[in-house]
Structure formats: C-alpha cells, structure tokens
Amino acid sequence: MDLDFIKNELYTAVLSDVLDALGYPNQATRIPFTPCTGIGKLVGRCKTTLWADMFHKDVHPYELELKAVDSCQPGDVLIAAAQGSNRSGIFGELLATASRNRGCAGVIVHGAVRDIAKMAAMQFPVFATAKNPYDSQNRQRVIDLDVPVVIDGVTFNPGDIVMADEDGIVVIPQHVENEVLELAKQKVSAENRTRDAIKNGMKAEEAYLTFGVL
C-alpha cells in the first residue's frame, strides 16, 4: 500500500464519506486533536499502546513504552490511548527521537505531550489533545501494546491505516482498505469535476445532480 499516495492525494473527510457509504459510520474521532508540531497531516499504520494513570511508585518505569517505541516499524504511527488524561506529558523529545530512528511516521496521543518546541524542530508529526510539562514516571504508564484500543468510540487495531489532518482522525479497517482507497480516489476525482463545474458557473444543485458528490 502506497502510504505516500494516501498522504498526498487523500484526506480524512473523503475517507470518512467512503467508510460511511460502505457501512462503517464510526471510524472518525470527533474530539479535537491539535497538530502540536505544526505538521498538519499524518498517515501510517497503527502501532498501539494502552495507557493508565497511576498513583504509586513504578518499579519498572517506562518499561512497556520503551518496548513499544523500540519495536516500531517504518511507516508506523504510534497510537497512545491514554483516555484523554492530562496527568502528565507522556510523549516528548527523547521518545520522538527514538521513534523516528525506527522509522515511525508520527504519533497520535489521546492525552498530553511535552517538549513540543524540540519535536517541532525535528519536524516530527504529533497530534495530541493536551500539553503538559510533567514527566510520566509514577503518573502514567503503558499497560499493554499491540492490542485494539478505543479513542472517542473509534477502534484502532494494530496495522490499520490511520490518517490525521486538520479535520480529525480516521481509521481504515484492514479488511476493507483496498476498497476504501479505490473509492476514495474515485470520489476525489468526482469532487474535482464538481468544483470545476461550479467555478465555471454551474449551480450547486445541478452539480450535485450531475456528479453525485457534495
């Protein structure tokens, strides 16, 4: 699968529309994620981590998060499902450096991140719901990895294609990814024809009746 093509030619809204049409109406998050490092688009395959808050001393600090980072494969997007917790900044410069060295394309954090200026200087894509300078040690930890995780009611399975952009985040289940991407290409083409027709004076209703997209 050509992830560069998906990143350059497609976008979350068209993927969401296609998934809707195929009977998958719950594949996009609704809560706001911020592109913290100024990079507004991220595409790759899910590398999942499940996080929990903690309130005691961790006898094995960072154990599973380091394992997750070190096992990233090229093109992976690290998914940190932390239930939106703002107890600490669970991802920062050092994890970003280690992730990038493994070929990781970026990270999506349902929670807080830190070291944002340094990660921006690295041009490492980071989407998160909060910012927080606190270290995660003894506050939050990874309790499982490479398992299905749920963010805002959307299931992220390991290996699923995920796209994040300014509109939100969409997950494409692996068993329908080829069909979704082919239909998405067709829809983008139809949208381009519709846009050109409207620019040339066609009314919106006529354009919809002619091309079938909106």
Cβ atoms 41, 164 nearer than 8 A:
yes
Report the pLDDT value the prediction gives residue 207, as an integer from 0 to 100.
67
Mean pLDDT on 5-15? 93
Report the pLDDT value the prediction gives residue 161, as an integer from 0 to 100.
98
Q: Give the pLDDT band (50/70/90) at residue 195.
A: confident
Q: What is the percentage of the chain residues whose pLDDT exceeds 70?
A: 97
pLDDT surpassing 90 at residue 208: no
pLDDT surpassing 90 at residue 116: yes
What's the whole-model pTM score?
0.92
Mean pLDDT on 81-100? 98
Report the pLDDT value the prediction gives residue 1, as an integer from 0 to 100.
65
